[in-house]
Amino acid sequence: MTTPLTRTAAWQALSAHASSMGATQMKDLFAAQPERFQRFSRSAADILFDFSKNRINDKTLQLLLQLYEEADVAGAKNRMLAGEAINFTENRAVLHMALRAGGKRSYQFGGKEILPDVHQVLEQMARFVAAIHHGERRGFNGKKLTHFVNIGIGGSDLGPHMVCQALKPYAKEGCHVDFVSNVDSSHLVEILKNCRADETLFIVSSKTFTTQETMTNAHSARRWLVAALGSDAAVANHFVAVSTNAQGVAAFGIDTANMFEFWDWVGGRFSLWSAIGLPIALYLGMAQFRELLAGAEAMDEHFITTPAADNLPVILALLGIWYSAFFAARGYAILPYDQYLNRFSAYLQQAEMESNGKQTDYEGQTISDYPTAPIIWGEPGTNGQHAFYQMLHQGTQIIPIDFIATARSHNPLGDHHAILTANVLAQSEALMAGRSLSEAAEQLRQRGYSEDEISRLAPHRVMPGNRPSNTLFIPQLTPRTLGSLIALYEHKIFVQGVIWRINSFDQWGVELGKELAQVILPELQPGNANNPHDASTLGLIAYYRQLQR
């Protein structure tokens, strides 16, 4: 059976072309085309994107671009920009680009300009951040508030958490930030051990203000604060909320004057640019937060205005589709060679897998003839090299990779940064070039091994090579370059979702587990009756109950 995507001329041509490319070795392509790096690299918004170490030639790129055209990604992009409800299963617009729009472009929702609202909340954040930093707004006992604890989960945690880690060199002196997300009490309790109540500001971040984990953590944090400071009145000084639900915020006991608003047209995993970024602004200062927005806006302008053939997010998206569709790639590694990006892969796991890990197409049909989102994972280099890179080099499947490198360190120290950079460049070269049997044998011969030992050992030292990777090189990790990098991936995800014909902006897959947890919760108490469950679930509930006695 074919579906609208696999019926396109481009898909069919790509499928035939992939068979002919199957035997092509990248190292031969490099040998035959000395200008391959120039031909297959682009740059925008301070990001150099080298995609020359891919199993592609000019024809591949041309066919992938044809696929982009046939899928009418440009049309979908225009509908997104026009504020249409492209999140059609939730009837919502997708306008996170408006959150970082300085004013060059107008964004409308429901016939109304939305930038004035966006800028008003940014101003409110700026006033609040300044008041905290200057000590005009203090804790209940008059102490300066210097420890910011964000309570949120998913989209209300991963983005701000990743950004605060990434931009630690820009932190305001004396400020600390922590993120509580997991409902496991150990998460909150361990963080509270390092907090002084009179200096701590809790930011309860929840679009809906109903999320079980966040509400449970927020209530426990509130009890801890009231017990420590001896008064309910302290909540007003030490709690603020970021939400779209003013009623829920008031019901929790936070004055809505201490609430930062955002809107239904901001999806959770695209919300770090909204007031959900408040912990970022508190930790780094508003000027740096605005730099982050400006970096994202630069990538937005590139994405919106640059022809597909030179468009970074478009090319990155098309290459991902090329490998998943025609080379059975089911994983995708994000490998940043910058320690500050140590939560970047975790962030992208949500961004990519919650957006595009779907099997139902625009027409409601189950997709059966092409894969959608791959499994995203990664760790910062060089740690990963001593862990899972073995599989990248010699495993039986192709795992495409994005290496992310920075040319300058925030902490220059001897030759550390040169060693780090040599490693990232060596990895992409080794994955591409590999090592043949005869090369492995020759190496052993040089080292004085006998011919018997060589024939026994050489096969284990063969690296097939021809393993694809992109390198995203940025001068330095700054608020601006990080903003551009994140926006690059957001747009990549959008392009892939349109080509795969799925709604990238809902997340129905996380609902069923949540509903069943509500059913099971009372059943964990001794004496409560069980609802009908399978034997496994009943057995596990009984085991838990028994251990509570």
Read off the DSSP letter of residue 96: G
Q: Considering the rule CB under 6 A, would residue 52 count as an interface residue with ligand G6Q?
A: no
Write down the least CB distance from residue 251 to ligand G6Q, Å. Answer: 15
Q: Which of 42, 207, 302, 358 binds ligand G6Q (CB under 6 A)?
A: 207
Q: Where are the alpha helices (DSSP H) in 33-104?
A: 36-39, 58-70, 73-81
Q: Considering the rule CB under 6 A, would residue 248 count as an interface residue with ligand G6Q?
A: no
Q: Which residue is nearest to ligand G6Q (CB)?
A: 154
Q: Considering the rule CB under 6 A, would residue 285 count as an interface residue with ligand G6Q?
A: no
Residue placing its CB nearer to ligand G6Q in the complex, 291 or 354: 354
Write down the least CB distance from residue 124 to ligand G6Q, Å. Answer: 19
Q: Considering the rule CB under 6 A, would residue 208 count as an interface residue with ligand G6Q?
A: yes
Residue placing its CB nearer to ligand G6Q in the complex, 508 or 544: 508
Write down the least CB distance from residue 158 to ligand G6Q, Å. Answer: 8
Write down the least CB distance from residue 155 to ligand G6Q, Å. Answer: 3
Q: Name the token pair of 337.
A: 């060679």
Instruction: List, edge to edge, every strand of the sheet that includes 469-474.
Output: 41-44, 47-50, 469-474, 401-406, 331-337, 375-377
Is residue 142 within 8 Å of 257, Cβ to Cβ? Answer: no
Write the binding mask 353 to 372 for ligand G6Q: x where contact by CB under 6 A, - elsewhere: -x------------------
Q: Is 59 a catalytic residue?
A: no
Q: What is the DSSP string of 393-412?
A: HHSSS---EEEEEESS-SS-
Please give the Cα distance from 131 to 201 (Å, whole number).
Answer: 13
Residue placing its CB nearer to ligand G6Q in the complex, 373 or 458: 373
Residue placing its CB nearer to ligand G6Q in the complex, 139 or 159: 159
Residue placing its CB nearer to ligand G6Q in the complex, 154 or 384: 154
Residue placing its CB nearer to ligand G6Q in the complex, 251 or 542: 251
Q: Considering the rule CB under 6 A, would residue 279 count as an interface residue with ligand G6Q?
A: no
Q: Is 386 a catalytic residue?
A: yes
Q: For tokens 């838990």, what's the residue?
A: 544
**Residue range at the interface with ligand G6Q (CB under 6 A); choices 267-275, 294-302, 416-424, 523-531:** 267-275
At position 413, the amino acid (one-letter code) is L
- As a dihedral over the C-alpha atoms of residue 173, residue 174, residue 175, residue 178, rounded to 10 degrees, the angle is 130
Q: 481: exposed, middle or buried (C-beta count within 10 Å: 0-12, 13-18, 19+)?
A: buried
Write the binding mask 463 to 502 for ligand G6Q: x where contact by CB under 6 A, - elsewhere: ----------------------------------------
Q: Which of 206, 274, 345, 372 binds ligand G6Q (CB under 6 A)?
A: 206
Read off the DSSP letter of residue 528: P
Q: Name the token pair of 440.
A: 């492995």
Is residue 226 within 8 Å of 253, Cβ to Cβ? Answer: no
Q: Considering the rule CB under 6 A, would residue 153 count as an interface residue with ligand G6Q?
A: yes
Q: For tokens 């409902």, what's the residue?
A: 183
**Residue range at the interface with ligand G6Q (CB under 6 A); choices 148-156, 163-171, 409-417, 420-428:** 148-156
156-195 positions binding ligand G6Q, by CB under 6 A: 156
Write down the least CB distance from residue 247 to ligand G6Q, Å. Answer: 14
Write down the least CB distance from residue 241 to ligand G6Q, Å. Answer: 11
Q: For tokens 């909540």, what's the residue?
A: 235
Q: For tokens 């790509």, what's the residue?
A: 14
Is residue 273 within 8 Å of 490, Cβ to Cβ? Answer: no
327-356 positions binding ligand G6Q, by CB under 6 A: 354
Which of 59, 386, 416, 451 is the catalytic position? 386
Q: Considering the rule CB under 6 A, would residue 267 count as an interface residue with ligand G6Q?
A: yes
Axis-axis angle for helices 511-523, 535-547 (nearest 10)? 50
Omega cis (within 30) before 214: no
Q: Is 533 a catalytic residue?
A: no
Q: Name the token pair of 163.
A: 């950004």
Q: Name the token pair of 20.
A: 């002919």
**Helix/strand/coil for 451:** helix
H or E element in which residue 375 lies: strand 375-377
Q: What is the DSSP string of 201-220?
A: EEEEE-SSS--HHHHHHHHH
Q: Considering the rule CB under 6 A, would residue 155 count as an interface residue with ligand G6Q?
A: yes
How many residues line the site for ligand G6Q (CB under 6 A)?
A: 14
Spatial CB neighbours of 541, under 8 Å, sequence gap ≥ 6: 520, 523, 524, 530, 533
Q: Which of 36, 92, 222, 269 binds ligand G6Q (CB under 6 A)?
A: 269
Hey, which residues are catalytic here?
354, 386, 514
**Binding-site ranges for ligand G6Q (CB under 6 A):** 153-156, 206-208, 211, 214, 267-269, 354, 507
